A and B are shown apart, each in its own frame.
Chain A
Amino acid sequence: MTGPIDEYGMDMRFCRRVEPALERIARSYFRARLILEGPADWGGPVIFVANRAGFLPMDAVMAKVLLDPHLQGPGVRPLLEDYVFTLPWVGLWASRLGCVRASQDNAMRLLSRGEPVLAFPEGTKGAFRTVFERDRLFRFGRGGLVRLAVRTGTPVVPVGISGFEAAFPLFGRMEKPGRLVGLPYLPIGPALFGPPGLLPLPVRVVMVVGETLCLREVAGSDDPDDACVLRVNEHVRSRVAELLRRARGGA
């Protein structure tokens, strides 16, 4: 693809232009800390698996800002929920910064080109987690990600991110009124008061990156059955939960 944007809408010139500003937001506004538990020797295709919080994908962008100095090329491509790309400006800026709609095909395509991806397997529920659920990690989909990682032999890096559930505090989520405004849930929180409520609060953000997992070893085969996929999926989830606890402790 020749042109100013790639087929997912990423604009390298825009990325380079806003990078210093995003870095400043990460360091000064969120006072973000990156803790590496293992060596950062990720080359080529890697799947970072993290918890998601905040219905605006600020955590994905901040994670990209923190991880990219440790990666080559255009950096990590966050995989976001469908609804993000139906929102004005949010979807546009997310895709210009390199975010991609989460789907098996998109993940496969990016990994086969050697680009690392950042997956949030909790899905929409994770994005709309309330402050009461901040320590809870939702179900990791149906294990599609695990199946992909085992089949392709891609290394998986668990990541725990704390802070963003408080940056966009939610006290509840309502499904049916949300549909009326074109969101999966209506976020009950400051966001209801219009644009000023969409600004993130300056909370402290800690991101703990765990050691690289080889899911083929965990699964014991390269073509696992459904039960095995669920078991490995749960293993990854428990690793992310552990890192999330550590991130909270470090805050």
Chain B
Amino acid sequence: MESKDEPMRLALTGCHSLIGHGVLRSLDRLGPVERVLVFDLLPPEVSDPRVEFHAVDLTRPGADAEMAEAMSASRVTTMLHAAVLWDAVRDPGWAHELESVGTDYVLAALLAAHVKRAVFTSSFVVYGVSHRLPVPITESAPLLGSRTLPPFKDKVAAEEAVASFASAHPEISIAVLRFAITLGRDLQRVISRTLRRPVVPTLMGFDPAMQFLHPDDVVAAVLLCLRHDCRGAFNIAPQDALPLSEVLSMGGRIPFPLPHFLAYPMVGLLWNTGLGDLHPSYLNLLRFSVVMDPSRARKAFGFVARSTRDTVAAFYGREVQP
């Protein structure tokens, strides 16, 4: 159901990421928007009279009260939490403060400011990546991410906190979006960076199926979800999946196969010494297929992503081999 009776007063955390920046640039697609509160460390690069910036550090105690005060004053109706990490970082303590504790602050602020609608952004990593994944992954699958992707254990903790908050406060309509891997030409995330290289490491004897999302679809899914009143978790993924080998051949990239029992310690050593930007647990993605079922998002708010094939073709641009 679309709610059009009241103009939206939106609160947004994180305005420099793909989602935050994308939503601020396409506010008109949200319907009538009266005001947007932005919580971040630095002001957004968007000049819109409706946007009001508040410097808030989500890793600092008291962030919830600061946000709640501003949100109550502007009578915020809807909140979008996009201040989350998309890659493994070298400082797990900071990641814990931002992802897990930061989400707690956002939840506390929601409650204090009597917000009616909230959308949280998460990722496929909460399911983990292993051969035991269900095929395809539906939203009811267990969240085992901390076992096979330890750098993202705070994402799982954040989702658990959101889920228990949502069941304790049924008056607030809460949605969680779990995005597939986003692949963008100018996206500075480790998977996009790795796949842009001329030579891409792969694992010998493994060729997993992968799903890739176009950055525009990520923003489109968030906008659609904000406009609709839908609850629970939603997989945001394309319908199809491509084997890694086919992705690389579409881009004319040269695979560099490594034996998996050597690759894990090697990549781990590079990561730990600061020479490499790939956390060893990412190698699980080169080993096991991750195929999400996007049908719940399609039914709830009509989101259909472009296909993995189109996203990969757009990613490699004119370099695509005929």
Q: Closest residue of chain B to A87, judged by CB?
A: B205
Q: B246 contacts A82, CB within 8 Å?
A: no
Please report the C-alpha to C-alpha distance between residue A145 and residue B206 in the assembled complex, in whole angstroms.
29
With A88-B203, A88-B204 as known contacts, state yes or no: A5 contacts B132, CB within 8 Å.
Answer: no
Whether, in the assembled complex, B243 has its beta carbon less than 8 Å from a beta carbon of chain A, the answer is: yes
Q: Closest residue of chain A to B204, judged by CB?
A: A88
Q: In the complex, which residues of chain B have a beta carbon less than 8 angstroms from the beta carbon of A103?
A: 134
Whether, in the assembled complex, A220 has its beta carbon less than 8 Å from a beta carbon of chain B, the answer is: no
Q: B209 contacts A92, CB within 8 Å?
A: no
Q: A7 contacts B241, CB within 8 Å?
A: yes
Q: B131 contacts A91, CB within 8 Å?
A: yes
Q: A5 contacts B243, CB within 8 Å?
A: yes
Q: In the complex, which residues of chain A have a beta carbon less than 8 angstroms from the beta carbon of B224?
A: none
Q: Nearest-CB distance from A18 to chain B (Å)?
A: 15
Whether, in the assembled complex, B189 has its beta carbon less than 8 Å from a beta carbon of chain A, the answer is: no
Q: B206 contacts A8, CB within 8 Å?
A: no
Whether, in the assembled complex, A85 has its beta carbon less than 8 Å from a beta carbon of chain B, the answer is: yes
Q: Nearest-CB distance from A11 to chain B (Å)?
A: 8
Whether, in the assembled complex, B260 has its beta carbon less than 8 Å from a beta carbon of chain A, the answer is: yes
Complex interface residues of chain B between 110 and 142 (CB less than 8 A to chain A)? 131-132, 134-136
Please report the C-alpha to C-alpha distance between residue A88 and residue B257 in the assembled complex, in whole angstroms.
11
Complex interface residues of chain B between 203 and 253 (CB less than 8 A to chain A)? 203-207, 209, 239-243, 246
Q: Closest residue of chain A to B240, judged by CB?
A: A3
Q: B207 contacts A88, CB within 8 Å?
A: no
Q: A92's contact among B134, B205, B246, B307, by CB below 8 Å, is which?
A: B205
Q: In the complex, which residues of chain A have a beta carbon less than 8 angstroms from the beta carbon of B131?
A: 82, 85-86, 91, 101
* Interface range on chain A (Cβ under 8 Å from partner): 20 to 34
Q: Nearest-CB distance from B262 to chain A (Å)?
A: 12
Whether, in the assembled complex, A28 has its beta carbon less than 8 Å from a beta carbon of chain B, the answer is: no
Q: In the complex, which residues of chain A have a beta carbon less than 8 angstroms from the beta carbon of B276?
A: none
Q: A91 contacts B241, CB within 8 Å?
A: no
Complex interface residues of chain A between 84 and 100 (CB less than 8 A to chain B)? 85-92, 100
Q: In the complex, which residues of chain B have a beta carbon less than 8 angstroms from the beta carbon of A82?
A: 131-132
Q: In the complex, which residues of chain A have a beta carbon less than 8 angstroms from the beta carbon of B309?
A: 3
Q: In the complex, which residues of chain B have a beta carbon less than 8 angstroms from the beta carbon of A20?
A: none
Whether, in the assembled complex, A4 has its beta carbon less than 8 Å from a beta carbon of chain B, the answer is: yes
Whether, in the assembled complex, B291 has its beta carbon less than 8 Å from a beta carbon of chain A, the answer is: yes
Q: Closest residue of chain A to B309, judged by CB?
A: A3
Q: In the complex, which residues of chain B have a beta carbon less than 8 angstroms from the beta carbon of A9?
A: 209, 243, 289
Complex interface residues of chain B between 288 and 322 (CB less than 8 A to chain A)? 288-289, 291, 307-309
What is the total of A-B residue contacts with beta carbons within 8 Å? 59
Q: A3's contact among B242, B260, B288, by CB below 8 Å, is which?
A: B242
Whether, in the assembled complex, B259 has its beta carbon less than 8 Å from a beta carbon of chain A, the answer is: yes
1/0 per residue A169-193: CB within 8 Å of B? 0000000000000100000000000
Q: B241 contacts A8, CB within 8 Å?
A: no
Which residue among B209, B288, B289 has the maximum number of chain A CB atoms within 10 Å of its CB?
Answer: B209
Q: Nearest-CB distance from B247 to chain A (Å)?
A: 11
Q: Nearest-CB distance from A72 to chain B (Å)?
A: 23
Q: B241 contacts A1, CB within 8 Å?
A: yes
Q: B239 contacts A105, CB within 8 Å?
A: no
Q: B206 contacts A4, CB within 8 Å?
A: no
Q: In the complex, which residues of chain A have a beta carbon less than 8 angstroms from the beta carbon of B242?
A: 3-4
1/0 per residue A54-66: CB within 8 Å of B? 0000000000000
Q: A7 contacts B207, CB within 8 Å?
A: no
Please report the C-alpha to C-alpha distance between residue A3 and residue B309 in the assembled complex, in whole angstroms.
9
Please report the C-alpha to C-alpha distance between residue A4 and residue B209 in the assembled complex, in whole angstroms.
10
Q: B205's contact among A7, A8, A88, by CB below 8 Å, is which?
A: A88
Q: B243's contact among A4, A85, A106, by CB below 8 Å, is which?
A: A4
Q: Closest residue of chain A to B308, judged by CB?
A: A3
With A82-B131, A105-B134 as known contacts, state yes or no: A92 contacts B239, CB within 8 Å.
Answer: no
Please report the C-alpha to C-alpha distance between residue A5 and residue B205 in the assembled complex, in whole angstroms.
17
Q: In the complex, which residues of chain B have a beta carbon less than 8 angstroms from the beta carbon of A8?
A: 135
Q: B259's contact among A3, A88, A92, A105, by CB below 8 Å, is which?
A: A88
Q: B135 contacts A3, CB within 8 Å?
A: no
Q: In the complex, which residues of chain B have a beta carbon less than 8 angstroms from the beta carbon of A3?
A: 240-242, 308-309
Interface residues of B (CB under 8 A from A): 131-132, 134-136, 203-207, 209, 239-243, 246, 259-261, 287-289, 291, 307-309
7 nearest A-B residue pairs (beta carbon)? A88-B205, A89-B205, A85-B131, A3-B240, A7-B291, A7-B135, A86-B131
Interface residues of A (CB under 8 A from B): 1-5, 7-9, 82, 85-92, 100-101, 103, 105-106, 109, 182
CB pairs A–B below 8 angstroms (28 shown): A2-B239, A3-B241, A3-B242, A3-B308, A4-B243, A5-B209, A5-B241, A5-B243, A7-B209, A7-B291, A9-B209, A85-B131, A86-B131, A87-B205, A88-B203, A88-B204, A88-B205, A89-B205, A90-B205, A91-B131, A91-B205, A91-B206, A92-B205, A105-B134, A105-B135, A106-B134, A106-B135, A182-B261
